[in-house]
Structure 1
Amino acid sequence: MDGFKLQSINLQQVQNQIRHKTDGLSSSTLVLRRGQAFTVLLSYEGRPFDPMTEKLIFRIILGPLSVEVPVSMSGQPSPTQWSAILERGVSDPTGPRALSVSLSSPASASVGVYTLQLRVENRWTLRTYLFGQFTLLCNPWSQADSVFLPSEDLRNEYVRNDFGLLFKGSPGNIAARPWSFDQYEKGILDICMKLLQLSPQYQADMGRDLQNRSNPVYIGRVISAMVNSNDDRGVLAGNWSGEYSDGVNPSKWSGSADILRMWAETQFKPVKYGQCWVFAAVMCTVMRALGIPTRVITNFNSAHDTNNNMVIEEYYSEMGEKLSFGKDSIWNFHVWVESWMKRPDLGQGYDGWQVLDPTPQERSGGTFRCGPAAVKAVYQQKVDVQYDVPFVYAEVNADVHIMIVKDGKVLSTSVDKKRVGALICTKYPGAMRMQDVTSEYKNERGESMMRAMSSTARSGEGATGRMAPKGVAVSLQLLKAPVVGENISFNVIITNTVAVPKLLRKHVNAQNKEYNRNPTRTLWEAHDDLKIGPNETVTIKHEIPFNNYMMEEAEEDYLVNLTVVIEDVKSQERVLATEEFNIRSPTLNVQIQNENVSVNTQQVATVNFTNPFSVPVSGELTVACSGLQERFQTRLTVQPRETMKIPVSFTPRLAGAKMIYASLVLRNPPIILHGFKTINVQAS
């Protein structure tokens, strides 16, 4: 009989990926999770394998690093090192015989693309066989992995789910918009691995970088820097100018795959353009693809404290115009991600959610990135804990000092301790609604700030109207949630808190603004004098016409800073109230013809939109679905008050919870509308 001769090697991709919960991830390689066994089949001919005369030695290669793993005849896999155990011989009288070998990686193995070789040795010969490559990811299902997440529901939400909601707008008028994370789309995982390979750390010292990739803390810092393009060949260029003619308006993106593919297809040139929610959503895609549980977080009224004094200073003119003094600012909302991991570098008590922020704001260790900052450290006010806890703490806790100035002189000062970090939220696991996580960041909240904000909106108590009334109190009250196309109606409520009449001057100013900085031009103002009796309360209604706040560039959130300054003519004392709010776009309605949706079966969705404007509107409608290859686009015009109904055919290719999402980019008025529908796709 001929000697033992290896014929072929089978990596059993389908079976292994189902067991490793990587099925659906698209890669040119086998995709595995660390700390978990996978099986390979070795088909051979000639005499049976004899461990007394032959040795089987696997060589596992990651860049310049490699380890040799002899095949054992029995035993248990090691949690701390690579192992290979012969499972059984497979007999087939009609065909080649096979050996089944179980390979296991340590739970702390580095994330990366490995090459697998097998060496067959006996007394006379030595043959080496190339198996191919496999991509190794973190494993939140393994208790030994530093990203282990105990709940299966949360693992499905924060690792396997490929769609979600991003929250924008303002605390009193939250806008939820759909996003497709697209980690299952063709080639996306390979692009995510390429992102690690292009990092400055890998380019400078490949071996050291690959060793460090065992640690999700390190991975998070690399990805946080690589999602923006400020210091490296990163994915996205930021732009907050309002001028996007040489790229894509950030508001038009609706999924991560288009961005990552564009980056890869242009030889890794920065994709134009991103803003905070785009940076965060793309980072969520990359981290979930790498197996690190991740969720997108929105912080409403997010402080950008540039001098680390935990104070944001705001300046207003005596006419109520907000002034652009200083570098500090409050973003109406800011979006980052949290990733779940252990923090042995910080000692006890800081495992769990960690803030990572790829939006380029401030440098961390010389590079535009932020985190991972332990949420528990932010909650405990441990601002000496790395990484970047002081910056994140200020984003959710800074005090706001509000000053009215004239000719360089401060006329009035007040302090607001509640505005910053008014609401911190994410998508609720397993549902398309908001989850309030403010209490995970802030430990001095007598009541839910969500309730406080809604009661403020009802009572009309402006944030600064409660401060230092000096005989006069003033507040603002929106009469209804503002919607694009309608006039904005609000009340100014003035109370004389003393028993003498007063002559007052009232200055009301509305400025348009972008979410991440101070307002620019005044779009509407009103100034007049009034008399108020002893202990009297006066309510004055105002209306800002739609034509005053019309936009120029397509936006999905139009923001307004509304301020009223009341001056006591006799004492010249002033009191101010201010409110920042967003004007919401109408929504698209998406319906499914047949609720019983199954894989590889054509279905029909219908997108409905009623034009609320008094003029015809035209634009481009895009409909797509997570887990679909098709994308539907069409140009359309809708007459005033007309309802459009657009049927769209689609064929799901993956089972599980999926989302159909639609966006309509209108030219006049220049706004972006969104809609979505979640479906549960059954296996065929």
Structure 2
Amino acid sequence: MLVILPNTCNSSCHTMNNMQQTIYSINGTTNGHCRLKSMNFEIPENSISHETQGLSRNRLVVRRGKPFKVTLKSDSWLWNPCAESLVLEVCLGGLSKRIPVLFYEEQSHPQLYDWKATIYPGNMHPQSVIIHICAPVQSSVALYELLAHIETRRSRKTYVLGTFVLLCNPWLKGDPVYMPLDAHKEEYIKSDYGLVYMGSSLNVSKRPWSFGLYEPGVLEACLKLLEFSPQHLTDKNKDYTLRADPVYLSRVVCAMINCNDDLGILEGKWQGSYKNGVKPTDWSGSADILLRWASSKCRPVRYGQCWVFASVLCTVMRVLGIPSRVVTVFNAAHDGNGNMIIEEFYTRTGEKFGVSKDSIWNFHVWVECWMRRPDLGAGCDGWQVVDPTPQEKSEGIFCCGPCPVAAIQHHWLDARYDIPFVCASVDADVVRLIVHNGLVVGKTVDTECVGKLIYTKSIGSDKPENLKLTYKPDKRGNTSVCGRTLQHQGTMSPNLNVTLKIVGVPKLGEPIHICVTITNQCKNPRVLVGHINAQVKEYDSSPCEAFWDAQTEVQIQPFSVTTLNHTISHFKYQSFLAGDDIVNLAVVLKDMRTKETFLAAEEFSISPPQITIQIEGGNSIQLKKQRTVLVSFTNCLSTALYEAVLTVQGAGLLEGKQVAKIILLQPGEKIEKKVSITATSPGTKLLMATLSHSNNPNIIARWYHKVSVTA
């Protein structure tokens, strides 16, 4: 911790308390009056010791609670320990802390909660001295200035040594972000590559993401984010002090990822044109976003949606030393009134319409951060939900969390922060209402839809890990959960059950097969008439008008099962759907004798056609060595594509975008583009290719290719 002391940073020669003080800047120049001629932060060695390799090329980056060493050099003895004192001083704004430099024999028992500066046996020589500096385990995350003072009772010579960055330390047991397993630290702190799961619970797609931890300027952008937060601009010293706490840090960073009420990084946009910025689906990494914001005097980058907000947050938290991972909730509820119930409204023909303040996102992406929660107790330690997508305000600002996953699972609704909202996101009930002439004519309750899957990338693998049971109680075999009665999807009556199923995995260019199963469990025959309806929708909103429907009539005998099969041809949907688009499907049936109305609904996504990316010599390339890449797309659709455009881009591999165009791409024909790539930094990089055409304003295919860059 730091205490408020008279700050000598950036001062000139002056007298303090009758002591003559002279200040020198160590910049490699010779000064006849300057005893200290040079200093060395020993960046390569300290970076390896502190697990910070690659975070900065020319700045010392270390972790709290672990010693790092600096070397001071002079033309002769730097100071006389019998007559002078050597004191280091660390400074943050108006805060500073003096650290007496002691020989190892003079040190008391090791303390995790105070700064130390130690000279070990054999580390002091006539023209140099090696000092090991250790910050307290709960020091603030920041850019510090380091000074050295050589003092007597009458004089002080002060040397401005330079700056260093101090981060959280998940390798140290005493740190609130300590993570015991090395494989977890490798994945959740050091990994530069991740996956975002998207689409629908019936057809999950994955999108690689480059976190860009080691791209030049990213560390500085993350520190700048802290400096431009409202908390820092309002009271710098208070903010510096509170930055020791990962709970505080996560709330500050979470709010700064969106720009809704501060100088934050990203502006969100979910509808309309994106011509004044970058379409959210076109981003493939965090570095470009962070560097654009940092170089634009904190103007928000346009545009983001949930997975972009979350992925950038994950980057910043990992850079600051807080273990983090991106998590996708499939069928995530937005509960506007906090009653854990989401109402959806349908017409008698099966069209869903948006009149409710509540909604269900086919997928929603947030971040889990790992930390202890002394403010809540040990039962709330571990993974915490932190959601930067601006939906609702938390204590007056657009952020959400940190919300303990354990508290969500047990419905501890009074725990901080935002437990009721996050609980509803993963475990609300869905009430579907059929409305005609302002009256409800049918109703079903679905307790399984929300939070159907909760995915994150597995450790060391591209396979998903399902976190559902860490968020939700296991409902199998239960009749009620948290006081809410369980009913199964599609059940309108104890005597009739209607279910809706998509057969296979829908792929763009192929027909979509639908199966409706009707089970009559009563002794009377039934005559049912109804509609089945398909609507395109954005992942976070209500559907548009229907692009396909069909009428149906069926007679079903007592205690029997009937199936209805429907097919939506490519010809019927080609003008409406592109790759990764989501479809809302519903069937409404009416019993002509009893006048009962029955509803079953399902949502699914369309898999895009594949783009082929082939790297000459394999997927592992050397730093700064040029390689050739062939990118191609074969039209697998049944119709020709007009003005087809194949676009290739890759941060850290390609300058800008590379484009190939063709006026007419017939079925079975190929478009290709040959590009040369050169990696500018080591790690995992991503090549992204997209295919668009004038028949449809949306991109119909989007493909990613992982490239491993070795030094």
The TM-score, its normalising length taken from structure 1, stands at 0.91
- What is the CA-CA distance between 1:77 and the residue it aligns to? 5.2
Query: Alpha-carbon deviation of 1:136?
Result: 1.0
How has the CA–CA distance of structure 1 residues 272 and 37 changed in structure 2, closer, same or farther, with 3 Å as cutoff? same
Structure 2 match to 1:650: 677
Tell me whether 1:441 sits opposite 2:471 in the alignment: yes
**Match for residue 256 of structure 2?**
226
Secondary structure, counterpart of 1:191 in structure 2: helix
Quick one: which of 505, 508, 513 aligns to 1:481? 505
Q: In the alignment, is the contact (CA less than 8 A) between 1:250 and 1:273 conserved in 2?
A: yes
State the partner residue of 2:118. 85
2:537 to 488, 505, 513: 513
Cα deviation for residue 611 of structure 1 reads 2.3
Aligned-residue offset at 1:3: 9.9
Question: How far apart are 1:547 and its partner, in Å?
Answer: 4.8
Aligned with residue 569 of structure 1, among 579, 592, 597: 592
Q: Name whichever of 201-210 and 641-650 sits farther off.
A: 641-650
Q: For residues 523-543 of structure 1, what are the alpha-carbon distances to aligned partners after superposition, in whole Å with 9 as ceiling and x for unaligned?
A: 112224343344443333222
Counterpart Cα distance in 2 of 1:155 and 1:189: 19
Q: Does structure 1 residue 418 correspond to structure 2 residue 443?
A: no
Question: Residue 401 of structure 2 is aligned with which of 363, 371, 377?
Answer: 371
CA pair 645-431 structure 1, distance change in 2 beyond 3 A: farther
Partner SS, residue 333 of structure 1: strand
Residue of structure 1 equivalent to 2:319:
289
Contact 2:284 2:686 in 1 (8 A): no
Number of the residue aligned with 2:68: 38
Please, which moves more after superposition, 315-324 or 418-427? 315-324
| Aligned residue in 1 for 2:100 | 70
Structure 1 contact 178–675 (Cα < 8 Å) conserved:
no
Give the match for residue 667 of structure 1.
Answer: 693
The AA in structure 1 aligned to 2:659 is T
Percent identity of equivalent pairs:
42
Deviation of 1:477 after TM superposition, in Å, equals 2.3
Measured in 2, the distance between the counterparts of 1:510 and 1:161 equals 41
**C-alpha spacing 1:48/1:322, structure 2 compared with 1 (3 Å):** closer
Tell me if structure 1 keeps the 8 A contact 2:631–2:672. yes
1:224·1:357 contact (CA, 8 Å) conserved in 2? Answer: yes
Q: Distance in 1 between matches of 2:557 and 2:234?
A: 74
User: Match of 2:223, SS?
Assistant: helix
State the match for 1:430 in structure 2. Answer: 460
Aligned partners of 1:311 and 1:398 also within 8 Å:
yes
- Equivalent runs, 1:380-419 vs 2, <5 Å: 380-419=410-449
2:130 partner letter: S
Q: Secondary structure at the match of 2:492?
A: coil
Give CA-to-partner distance per residue, 1:59-92, whole Å, 9 cap, x none: 1001111101111011365311111112356689
C-alpha displacement at 1:652, in angstroms?
4.2
Residue 579 of structure 1 pairs with residue 602 of structure 2: yes
Q: CA deviation at 1:660?
A: 3.1
Alpha-carbon contact 1:89-1:100 (below 8 Å) kept: no
In structure 2, the partner of 1:641 is: 668
- CA–CA separation in structure 1 for the residues paired with 2:192 and 2:184: 13
The structural deviation recorded for 1:204 is 1.0
Indicate the SS of the match to 1:383.
coil
The residue aligned with 1:239 is 269
Is the alpha carbon distance of 1:9 and 1:88 closer, same or farther for their aligned partners in structure 2, counting shifts above 3 Å? farther
Q: Is the 8 A contact 1:28 1:190 kept in 2?
A: no
* 1:298/1:336 contact within 8 Å kept: yes
Distance 1:629 1:189, change over 3 A: farther
Q: Does 1:558 align with 2:581?
A: yes
Question: In structure 2, do the counterparts of structure 1 residues 43 and 53 end up closer, same or farther at CA, with 3 Å as the change threshold?
Answer: same
User: 1:211-239: per-residue Cα shift (whole Å, max 9, x none)?
Assistant: 11000000111111110111111111111
Pair 1:147–1:604, CA change in 2 (3 A)? farther
Indicate how the Cα distance of structure 1 residues 605 and 144 shifts in structure 2: closer, same or farther if over 3 A, else same.
farther
Q: The residue matched to 2:581 in structure 1 has which SS?
A: strand
Of 556, 567, 590, 2:613 maps to 590
Alpha-carbon deviation of 1:306?
A: 0.8
Shift of 1:168: 0.6
* Structure-1 residue corresponding to 2:11: none
Within 2, Cα distance between the matches of 1:271 and 1:463? Answer: 44
Hey, what does 2:645 align to over in structure 1?
Answer: 619
Inter-partner Cα distance in structure 1 for 2:689 and 2:311? 17
User: What's 2:567 paired with?
Assistant: 543
CA gap of 1:665–1:189, structure 2 versus 1, over 3 A, is farther
Distance in 1 separating the partners of 2:488 and 2:546: 21
* Structure 1 residues not aligned, in runs of 5+: 448-461
Give the 3 Å change call, closer, same or farther, for CA 252–556 of structure 1 in structure 2.
farther
**Contact 1:506 1:527 survives alignment (8 Å):** yes
Bigger Cα displacement from structure 2, 670-679 vs 227-236: 670-679
- Structural RMSD (CA): 2.5
Judge which range, 487-496 or 630-639, deviates more: 630-639
C-alpha deviations, 1:274-299, integer Å up to 9, x for none? 11111101101111111110000000
One-letter code aligned to 1:622: V
8 A Cα contact 1:12 1:40, kept in partner: yes
Q: Secondary structure at the match of 1:363?
A: coil
- Read off the aligned partner of 1:642 and give its amino acid letter: E
Distance in 2 between residues matched to 1:632 and 1:327, nearest whole Å: 40
Shift of residue 518 of structure 1? 1.7
Q: CA deviation at 1:582?
A: 0.8
Distance change (3 Å), C-alpha of 1:628 and 1:8? farther
Is the deviation greater in 405-414 or in 419-428? 405-414
Partner of 2:36: 6
CA distance in 2, matches of 1:655, 1:246: 32
Indicate whether 1:167 and 2:197 are aligned. yes
1:9–1:628 CA distance, 2 compared to 1 (3 A) = farther
Distance of 1:545 and 1:170 partners within structure 2: 21
Q: Are 1:110 and 2:134 counterparts?
A: no
Relative distance call for 1:665 and 1:183 in structure 2 (3 A) is farther
For 1:627-676, what per-residue CA distance to the aligned partner results, in whole angstroms no more than 9, with x for missing partners?
657566233445532345545443445555x2433231413442253434
Q: Decide whether aligned partners of structure 1 residues 531 and 392 sit closer, same or farther in structure 2, where only a CA change above 3 A counts.
A: same
Q: CA deviation at 1:179?
A: 0.8
Taking the TM superposition and a 5 Å limit, the aligned residue runs for 1:175-324 are 175-324=205-354
1:353 and 2:376 aligned: no
CA contact (8 A) 1:89 1:98 kept: no
Q: Deviations over 1:166-216 (max 9, x none)?
A: 001111100101111111111011011111111111111111111110000
Paired residues of 2:329 and 2:364 also in contact (CA < 8 A): yes
Letter of the structure 2 residue corresponding to residue 341 of structure 1: M
Q: Hey, what does 2:175 align to over in structure 1?
A: 145
Amino acid at match of 1:586: P
1:556-590 residue CA offsets vs partner (Å, 9 max, x unmatched): 52111100011011111011111111112123343
Structure 2 CA distance for aligned equivalents of residues 635 and 108 of structure 1: 54
In 2, Cα distance between equivalents of 1:594 and 1:13: 35
Contact 2:345/2:355 (CA < 8 Å) preserved in 1? yes
Contact 1:231 1:367 in 2 (8 A): yes
CA contact (8 A) 2:660 2:671 kept: no
Pick from 97, 105, 128 the counterpart of residue 98 of structure 1.
128
2:220 partner amino acid = D
**1:259 corresponds to which letter in structure 2?**
I
